[in-house]
Amino acid sequence: MLPDKTLAVRTDERKKEGYKQAKDRLTLLFCVNATGKHKLKPLCIGKSRMPWCFHHVNVNCLPFLYKNSKNSWMTREIFEQWFFTEFFSSGKMLRRKGILLLNNSPAHPPAERLRIRDGKIQV
């Protein structure tokens, strides 16, 4: 989230009563094990389906995953897709037992929907 205070110049044209703060947002998700040896690619969520800064870039080659949502927030669909394609399918996670701790955000699906058949990973 952007800061709610800024250093304003007296001659700033935008400085007037009723000026609304910009609502540009970006959500990032980081995932790492307790020792820090196993790190997953960060997930970045923005508003645009294909931001202008990625115009001539292969999005699959970026050092992070990019998804989009209407207000740049995490959604259940994005989280479930990340869980099953990135968190669960990473090679090192398949050989070990693991636990994923989540808060009670409405963007997180219920633990019953995040079940893995072999029971090695619990949410």
**For the segment 84-93, what is each residue's pLDDT rounded down to a tens digit?**
888 877 655 5
Q: Where are the domains of the chain?
A: 27-122
**For the segment 11-32, what is each residue's pLDDT rounded down to a tens digit?**
656 555 555 555 678 899 998 8
Q: What is the pTM of this model?
A: 0.72
Q: What is the pLDDT of residue 43?
A: 94
Q: Is residue 67 predicted with pLDDT exceeding 90?
A: yes
Q: What is the DSSP string of 29-64?
A: E--B-TTSS-BPPPEEEESSSS-GGGTTS-GGGSSS
Q: Is residue 104 predicted with pLDDT exceeding 60?
A: yes
Query: Within 10 A of 26 (CB to CB), how many other CB atoms are there?
Result: 11
Q: What is the pLDDT of residue 90?
A: 60
